[in-house]
Amino acid sequence: KQEVTQIPAALSVPEGENLVLNCSFTDSAIYNLQWFRQDPGKGLTSLLLIQSSQREQTSGRLNASLDKSSGRSTLYIAASQPGDSATYLCAVTFTNAGKSTFGDGTTLTVKP
Amino acid sequence: DTEVTQTPKHLVMGMTNKKSLKCEQHMGHRAMYWYKQKAKKPPELMFVYSYEKLSINESVPSRFSPECPNSSLLNLHLHALQPEDSALYLCASSLLQGGTYNEQFFGPGTRLTVL
């Protein structure tokens, strides 16, 4: 069974700290991996998409890496801000059929 | 236009009602999705439409009936729902080029309560 795991489930950091969120998946033959953030009661906002052939993607203070051989992706957030507080979800697409498997998410709290 | 819109934002319905959720995008995306999300859980895929044809049905009960009338619209028809169907229903779309699915963009969701 293809599974996606995110650890830790919750993370609290002081403002300004750099942090890393983790996403692990059981099958290295992935098609792509996408990171989202979700604010309470809202829809998902796409942060970064990494294709299977890529090692990393960057957008502003965010950097996502992909290591298929170890079945891991990390989302690095630099100089965290209270506005970064949200739940971060990774979604792995294992085949090119439009179906993504989501991890349970990491809820991030950045304290002023 | 780079957004996915969903209506209504909130819906309360009884178990004998019939209602519909609507999703719209004008990004030229030819893949559209319905997800169900319960509180503090990740989204669960329900249906995928590719080029206006149903390509994935994740064994969803027949009281949920999707429809894709054109490349910009996706509906979810609801009938005889149960209280446990109360959830946030999310629509998403993605570019589909040469059979390749790309980045998914989500709408804000419809909060459904079944009494």
CB A64 within 8 A of CB A75: yes
Token pair 């503090």 is found at B40
Are the Cβ atoms of B88 and A99 closer than 8 angstroms? no
The DSSP bridge partners found for residue A12 are A109
User: pLDDT tens digit string along B8-66?
Assistant: 999 999 998 999 999 999 999 999 999 999 999 999 999 999 999 999 999 999 999 99
Q: Do B33 and A97 touch (CB under 8 A)?
A: no
Among chain A residues, the shortest Cα distance to B40 is held by A104
Please indicate if any CB of chain B lies within 8 Å of the CB of A73.
no
Phi and psi dihedrals of A94, rounded to 5?
-85, -25
Choose the closest CB to A93 out of B6, B101, B106: B101
| pLDDT, tens digit (0-9, with 9 covering 90-100), for A7-45 | 999 999 999 999 999 999 998 788 999 999 999 989 999
> Tokens at residue A89, please?
């979800």
